[in-house]
Amino acid sequence: MKRKSIISGFSKLSREEKVAALTDSADKIKAKLDSFRLQNKEQQDLLDEISENTLSNFYLPFGVAPNFLINKSLYHIPMVIEESSVIAAASRSAKFWSNHGGFHARVISVVKSGQVHFLWKGEKVRLLDLLPELKYELYRTTKELTRNMRQRGGGIQNIRLVDLSHEMENYYQLHVDFDTVDSMGANFINSCLEQMAQTMKKFFKYYQGLKDIERECEIIMSILSNYTPDCLVESWVECDIEELDNIEPGMSGREFAEKFSKASKIAEVDVFRAATHNKGIFNGIDAVALATGNDFRAIEANGHVWAAKSGKYKSLTHASVSNNRFKYKLTIPLSLGTVGGLTSLHPLAKFGLELLGKPSAKELMMITATAGLANNFGALRSLVTTGIQYGHMKMHLSNLLNALKADYEEKRQALEYFAHKTVSYSEVESFIKSIRTKLR
Ligand code: MEV
């Protein structure tokens, strides 16, 4: 199947030629790849052009976690995820909190940043002297690029010089803050930064007479930062302790709240637990990001740096029990868009946003953070009560049955048999084997 030699000019080959170059059984593989392509040529062409060297489509389930009450508004949240229990967990939390005051959320700030990284070999004081004039030029020469964004209420918010020469010889940055309104803004930010790098070079060369510009001011690179600590949102739930009575049969609200808080605290003090705890938050966040055409890698990178901002990687949530109130809060930087990029290109991302009532980026920040909190609350709720495998493996049962190629009747019997039992692969396998032997 796998050919070992280098394939040159791969991207220029037709789809058929690409498949032939990759495999000895091209006809069989191509038929399989074709079976996952869309009948609608226009939509397939669109998907093909989103990325490079596209052979087929890779499907993931597009689902909905309904009934999220957030700041008194009701949302049915679209989620794209392969893990079978995530939507179930989000929905269960949404249902629970809709009877206890709903979720509360607020956007704290919306600043995104980027940097021009450069080496300055001259005196620092000279750079500082030139800064006001340079800034003027930076704003002037990006005016065209920022015009639309300014019309929408955004644009460049601030430019500052950062001296990092104590970390790396001669290293400085122009650190630029942006408001990109409803777009994630990556292309806008990168275009502005690249223009700024050009402007800097020209400024020092022509206006300030630096002869050997490459030597005196070496621009290394210009790029947005995926860390946006000032594009911050929080989502929380709170209720009287008694409202948690019998959240699991026989458990008092206080018992639950205290055990839950301890579990949450463990993720603040232990890095191994923190990683898993935060992974559970991103189960929800990434699923909404995918369903709305947002960049989940950027979102994850952002959240993990924020989680480590104290120098130690910690949980993104915090629980408290005081004055008879239980409160559980997630605070996270989320750089999202609801216009531009994939949000308006991908037909299902468009639908995902429609389902949410075409939210602004700020509204989507609150919805997405809430989905993260809901998934995490659901995970902790299970962990401190029934254990995770009970619910998780129940949801996973159909995957196991499909892997064992169970037919309709075998599935029916298995669902009935495991309705009140803990599911494991070996248990399911022996159950299916046993009914198959009986039938023989
Ligand atoms: C599984 O995808 C996520 C959990 O492990 C999260 C957690 O442990 O908090 C259940």
Question: What pLDDT is stored for residue 3 in this prediction?
Answer: 62
Mean pLDDT of the 160-188 span: 97
Query: 10 has which bridge partners?
Result: none
279 is catalytic: yes
Question: Which ligand 1 atom sits closest to the C-alpha of 380?
Answer: 9
Whether the predicted pLDDT of 56 surpasses 70: yes
Give the Å distance between the CA of 281 and the centre of ligand 1: 8
| 438 pLDDT tier (thresholds 50, 70, 90) | confident
Distance CA 191, CA 362 (A): 23
Distance CA 268, CA 288 (A): 25
Mean pLDDT of the 246-264 span: 95
> Is the CB of residue 396 below 6 angstroms from any atom belonging to ligand 1?
no
> Is the CB of residue 225 below 6 angstroms from any atom belonging to ligand 1?
no
Question: Which ligand 1 atom sits closest to the C-alpha of 277?
Answer: 9
Question: What pLDDT is stored for residue 203 in this prediction?
Answer: 92
Ligand 1, from 279, 315, 377, 394: best to mutate by most atoms within 8 Å of Cβ?
279
Question: What pLDDT is stored for residue 214 in this prediction?
Answer: 66
Q: Among residues 239, 232, 225, 391, which one has the least CA distance to residue 316?
A: 232
For all residues of the chain together, what is the average pLDDT?
95
83 is catalytic: yes
Catalytic residue of the set 295, 318, 329, 394:
295
Neighbours of 91 (CB within 10 A): 21
pTM: predicted TM-score of the whole model, two decimal places: 0.92
pLDDT (tens digit, 9 = 90+) per residue, 374-426?
999 999 999 999 887 777 777 788 889 999 999 988 988 998 999 888 888 99
pLDDT (tens digit, 9 = 90+) per residue, 276-303?
999 999 999 999 999 999 999 999 999 9
> Is the CB of residue 276 below 6 angstroms from any atom belonging to ligand 1?
yes
The CATH class, in words, for 112-224 is: alpha beta
Contact between 243 and 330 under an 8 Å Cβ cutoff? The reply is: no
392 is catalytic: yes
Ligand 1, from 81, 272, 283, 385: best to mutate by most atoms within 8 Å of Cβ?
283
| 5 pLDDT tier (thresholds 50, 70, 90) | confident
> Is the CB of residue 327 below 6 angstroms from any atom belonging to ligand 1?
no
> Is the CB of residue 135 below 6 angstroms from any atom belonging to ligand 1?
no
pLDDT (tens digit, 9 = 90+) per residue, 114-159?
999 999 998 999 899 999 999 999 999 999 999 999 999 999 999 9
Distance CA 376, CA 331 (A): 13
Give the Å distance between the CA of 87 and the centre of ligand 1: 13
Give the Å distance between the CA of 277 and the centre of ligand 1: 6
Question: What pLDDT is stored for residue 420 in this prediction?
Answer: 83
Question: What pLDDT is stored for residue 2 in this prediction?
Answer: 55
Contact between 221 and 172 under an 8 Å Cβ cutoff? The reply is: no
Give the Å distance between the CA of 386 and the centre of ligand 1: 14
Q: Where are the domains of the chain?
A: 1-59, 62-109+229-386, 112-224, 392-438
Q: At what angle do helices 361-383 and 86-98 cross, to 10 degrees?
A: 100
407 is catalytic: no
Report percent pLDDT > 70 for the chain. Answer: 98
Query: 326 has which bridge partners?
Result: 239, 321
CATH number, domain 62-109+229-386: 3.90.770.10
Tokens of 216: 């005196």
